[in-house]
Structure 1
Amino acid sequence: MLQSKIPATIITGFLGAGKTTIIRSMLQNADGKKIALIINEFGDLGVDGDVLKGCGAENCTEEDIVELTNGCICCTVADDFIPTMEKLLEREERPDHIVIETSGLALPQPLVAAFNWPEIKSQVTVDGVVTVVDSAAVSDGRFAHDHDKLDAQRQEDESLDHESPLEELFEDQLTAADMIVLNKADLIDEIKLDQVKASVQNSIERKPAFVVARNGIVPSDVLLGLGVGSEDDLATRKSHHEKHHHDEHSDDDHEHHHHHHDHDEFESFVVELGVVKKPEEFCVGLSELIQEYGILRLKGIVHVPDKAMRLVIQAVGARVDQHFDRLWNADEEKSSKLVVIGLHDIEQQKIASAIKGLI
């Protein structure tokens, strides 16, 4: 029965882990498979969709890329994701494989559960959940886990009965995984990489496969074809929220209960700019602003006046990466837009003004 269904791979991971880079590489090396891609962008501008549309993979055309921009996929399963899947399955030429990239802020569990809905279960199976980890960030102590320290804090503070939302979210993404990609391994040495793997493995009870990736390169035959059927294994993938409440929810109720994972902790906003004449200096300035204002993630498309191609800017932490991805289309407005993601108290106006001051 599994073989008669279309396999779907869910790719999740925290902000800046490198999901888009891995998917771009996968599309360019898919060995002729026709891949449909569903992207759940967090923010007001579907930057990742634009980036992936520029990858040039013949087997994944623009009509095969669907963006869900109405909010976190785990909170809009019934209203957004299910209808999108149904439309995809109604196509005359159905895909060989479906790849779903979640927002960095999404819980994978409700999405996996959605594949048990009757409209979906008879036609699609979850080939596997792949969680991408920024190894360098974990090695630096960001989103790492120290249970002993947390237990000590609980002893000292009776009001502290749960971990921070960021840490819970990271652990929930790891718990859902059938494969964990330790990405950005090129930025740390082997000893630190071994420590990261041990830290990640010790934070979860399940035993997923581990793959080490450098520069976001993972062969498509490694990511695709896991054949897990993850939707039939929900019991071992419970999120912190489910564990805390010990409730048995029906699939229809599942996404409603997950509104409690607090997206109010995060905010995103778009900064629209003019042309950027000196991109190198601009990126240096962005790096400084990221550190000054505690920006979690920054990404966007930039118009450089003397260049025929769009400049893509991606930043996590103080690292700012840039590359030209494709030519501007004839009917496309040449403009510069950046999405900024930070915690709820991020100073939007100051940051927007500071970014505009860089050009």
Structure 2
Amino acid sequence: MSKIPVTVITGFLGAGKTTLIRHVLGHARGKRIALVINEFGDLGVDKEVLAACGEETCREEDMIELSNGCICCTVADDFIPTMETLLGRAERPDHIIIETSGLALPQPLIRAFNWPEIKSQVTIDGVVTVVDAAALSEGRFAADEQAVARQRAADAMLDHATPLGELFKDQLVAADLLVVNKADLVSNDVLDTVEGRLRAAARPGTGLVRAHNGHVDIAALLGLGIASEDHLEGRDSAHELEHGGEGHEHDDFDSFSVTLPDGLGRDALLGRIEAAIRAHDVLRLKGFAALPGSDARLAIQAVGPRINTWFDRPWKPGEARATALVVIGESPLDRAAISARLMGEMPAAVAAE
């Protein structure tokens, strides 16, 4: 069985990723395309996308929105399970398009395609980076850099804070194809200058096409057949180059896992989680819980005091039912005290009061 091709589309907020994707869906030529969307407040799985793609090419169930944080920071928690879900369907898509957040580092996502769970079934057809020609001609990375900053501030689950200049370079070196969008808004001379700068920053051999309002021939975007996950050379992010090829881990943050005893009800569990977060300034907590009398697994995502829960799927036959949580915060975390709160044990200092 041949691998399903995947196109990764990245680029800053406002560069034209959404418009490009709508154009592709409207000219899919019978291909059934699945969408994995990681843009916050820009596209979403909404009526406009459904109207653009049509029932023949992609269905509502083929559109998945990841809203638990930047996809490059939640590869294991969100991206891999999402891909497994798509690949497990009886009717598999002909092509998958992944739209990353404008703040995403493409490199961790590209490497994730080498995970055994998905490598045998999918391949990266190409990484497409959309850039705003008009903004670049004016010395800016995005038409509204303040909007990019607001997006960053609103994403409390963002685990990296790369300067915009470095992030832009990371998106360029990760690309197999650069789409220079809004080319009609600048003169040809200015456009030549912008493209010269882009070629100098990109990897040798990176393709480049101009686009007006996201309109690019679908043949230039799909069917590249590059298998980007097998060609990682030269795609290292600025952080990886600075740290000898290591991924974007951060010494300022600490994390640990804790497994809680069975039999704890939903309200009691969430009460413990909230108490631990407030007492120890936990930045993020995530995991899954086994609730008494429930045949479904409860997913938990907490950012600061805000806790979101939902039943994500039934427990599988023979699967160990347990409540397992990951705690993330500024280093060092008081693991013993936080674990005690989650276990329902009264910390010694509180008990003495």
Identify the TM-score tier after normalising by the shorter chain.
0.5 to 0.7
Q: Any idea what SS the aligned residue of 2:234 has?
A: helix
Q: Is the 8 A contact 2:22 2:53 kept in 1?
A: no
2:49 to 48, 52, 61: 52
1:110 to 94, 98, 108: 108
- 1:195: which partner in 2? 193
Q: Is the 8 A contact 1:127 1:225 kept in 2?
A: yes
The structure-2 alpha-carbon separation of the partners of 1:53 and 1:75, relative to structure 1 and needing over 3 Å to count, comes to: same
Aligned pairs, how many? Answer: 233
Deviation at 1:74, TM superposition (A): 0.1
- The yes-or-no answer on 1:216 pairing with 2:208 is no
Matched residues in 2 for 1:86 and 1:60: separation?
Answer: 18
The structure-2 alpha-carbon separation of the partners of 1:259 and 1:142, relative to structure 1 and needing over 3 Å to count, comes to: farther
- The yes-or-no answer on 1:123 pairing with 2:115 is no
- 1:186: which partner in 2? 184
Deviation at 1:212, TM superposition (A): 0.5
The structure-2 alpha-carbon separation of the partners of 1:190 and 1:61, relative to structure 1 and needing over 3 Å to count, comes to: same
Deviation at 1:128, TM superposition (A): 0.4
Matched residues in 2 for 1:4 and 1:198: separation?
Answer: 38
- 2:149: which partner in 1? none
- 2:6: which partner in 1? 8
2:241 to 240, 243, 247: 243
Q: For structure 2, which runs of at least 5 residues remain unmatched after alignment? A: 143-160, 254-353
**Structure 1 length as normaliser, TM-score?**
0.62
- 1:140: which partner in 2? 138
Q: Is the 8 A contact 1:128 1:226 kept in 2?
A: yes
Matched residues in 2 for 1:257 and 1:235: separation?
Answer: 20
After TM superposition, the structure 1 = structure 2 runs for residues 1-359 of structure 1, keeping only pairs within 5 Å, are 4-42=2-40, 45=41, 47-50=43-46, 51-58=48-55, 59-143=57-141, 165-247=163-245, 249=246, 254=247, 257=249
The structure-2 alpha-carbon separation of the partners of 1:7 and 1:56, relative to structure 1 and needing over 3 Å to count, comes to: closer
Matched residues in 1 for 2:201 and 2:82: separation?
Answer: 34
The structure-2 alpha-carbon separation of the partners of 1:258 and 1:111, relative to structure 1 and needing over 3 Å to count, comes to: farther
Q: Any idea what SS the aligned residue of 2:52 has?
A: coil
Matched residues in 2 for 1:84 and 1:258: separation?
Answer: 25
Q: Is the 8 A contact 2:125 2:226 kept in 1?
A: yes
The structure-2 alpha-carbon separation of the partners of 1:80 and 1:189, relative to structure 1 and needing over 3 Å to count, comes to: same
Matched residues in 2 for 1:13 and 1:258: separation?
Answer: 23
| Higher RCO (C-alpha 8 Å, min separation 6) | 1
- Dislocated runs of 4+, deviation >4 Å: 258-261
Q: For structure 1, which runs of at least 5 residues remain unmatched after alignment? A: 145-162, 262-359
Greater Rg by CA: 2
Q: Is the 8 A contact 1:185 1:213 kept in 2?
A: yes
The structure-2 alpha-carbon separation of the partners of 1:5 and 1:143, relative to structure 1 and needing over 3 Å to count, comes to: same
Considering only aligned residues, what root-mean-square deviation do their CA atoms show, in Å? Answer: 2.2
Matched residues in 1 for 2:194 and 2:42: separation?
Answer: 31
Deviation at 1:221, TM superposition (A): 1.4
Q: Is the 8 A contact 1:5 1:123 kept in 2?
A: yes
Q: Is the 8 A contact 2:66 2:78 kept in 1?
A: yes
**Aligned-residue identity in percent:** 61
- 1:322: which partner in 2? none
1:86-117, Cα deviation, whole Å (9 max, x unpaired): 00000000000000000111011100000000
Deviation at 1:48, TM superposition (A): 3.4
Matched residues in 2 for 1:227 and 1:99: separation?
Answer: 14
